[in-house]
Amino acid sequence: MPELPEVEVVRAGLAPAVTGAVVLGVTVLDDRALTRHAGTGAEFESALTGRTIRAAARRGKFLWLPLEELRGEPAEAVVGHLGMSGQLLLRAPGAAPERHERVRIDLDHPTHGEVSVVFADQRTFGSLAIDELIPTPDGAPGGLGTAEASVPRQVAHIARDPLDPAFSDSAFRRALVRKDSAIKRVLLDQTVVSGVGNIYADESLWAARIHPETRAADLPTRAVNRLLGEVRHVLDKALAEGGTSFDAQYVNVNGQAGYFAHSLNAYGRTGEPCPRCGRPIERVSFTNRSSHFCPRCQRMPRPTGR
């Protein structure tokens, strides 16, 4: 599933093309792409046509496009989640349909002219929806790409991500003290910290020399600070390299793949030597996924408390 870097690459690509653009028309080819939308495909088309997009924002793995407000109506946004294989692509008006195309949104930008945003999704786990914007509890901007202190209602339960200027390191440390579960499980809990999935959790834990099964509450403050620093470093590096692409499903708005897969130190490297100590990387089952770690660099500590 695309994680923060992959989704941020898409958001950054969309922003200049959609901000200030007017929706000329919407074509829903598959209602399965609207599973999070409270209405039919025809209602989605009607509600969005004629609206002006004000920005492209992101929190964790969710994207949203705030819409110009209608008089007497609540503020709204188009919310997107890429799921397992979703893509948001920029295409010239009238371009041939994409393989697995589900929704096409035709825009007219005041500077760039007409362009189409295509939502394609092979496995149909992704979705688009029009959702109400609600105030953020902390009064800070809802996410990256917007200055407005609002967030779509269906995204409100998602925590801020470590690259969000409003992310609270101290709140994260306090949350870990209360967690009896493994640190990797906590990193994947989008209500604690968002945007980190299996790939970047493994990479961050390897960089911080922390075993993925270490009890979160047992991590000393110094280790938590080190982990947060490595999470940010890994995410920043992945962003700079366009994200991680293992197949043609993970691409930017122009259909180009990222190349962070070539920089991975632990994830997907089972049996290969650890870049730090040379010991073979191990893989163990983790829920319905896997964890990759170095048994020498990331030793399981004895519980010590704080």
Catalytic residues: 2-3, 61, 289
Q: Is there a contact between 158 and 134 (Cβ–Cβ < 8 Å)?
A: no
Q: Is there a contact between 62 and 190 (Cβ–Cβ < 8 Å)?
A: no
Which parts are annotated binding residues for DNA?
100, 123, 179
Which parts are annotated binding residues?
100, 123, 179
Q: Is there a contact between 25 and 49 (Cβ–Cβ < 8 Å)?
A: yes
**What is the distance between the alpha carbons of residues 167 and 266, in angstroms, rounded to a whole number?**
26
Amino acid present at 295: P
Among residues 130, 155, 128, 154, the alpha carbon closest in space to that of 144 is found at 155
Q: Is there a contact between 77 and 152 (Cβ–Cβ < 8 Å)?
A: yes
**What is the distance between the alpha carbons of residues 62 and 40, in angstroms, rounded to a whole number?**
21
Among residues 248, 258, 272, 291, the alpha carbon closest in space to that of 122 is found at 248
Phi-psi region of 15 (alpha: psi -120 to 50; beta: other; left: phi over 0): alpha
Question: Which element (helix H / strand E) includes 169?
Answer: helix 169-177
Among residues 258, 285, 278, 125, the alpha carbon closest in space to that of 198 is found at 285
The residues, any chain, with a CB within 8 Å of residue 154's CB and separated by 6 or more, are 36, 79, 129, 131
- Residue with tokens 């999935």, as numbered in its chain: 197
Strand partners, 53: 67
The separation between CA 88 and the C-alpha centre of its own chain, rounded to angstroms, equals 13
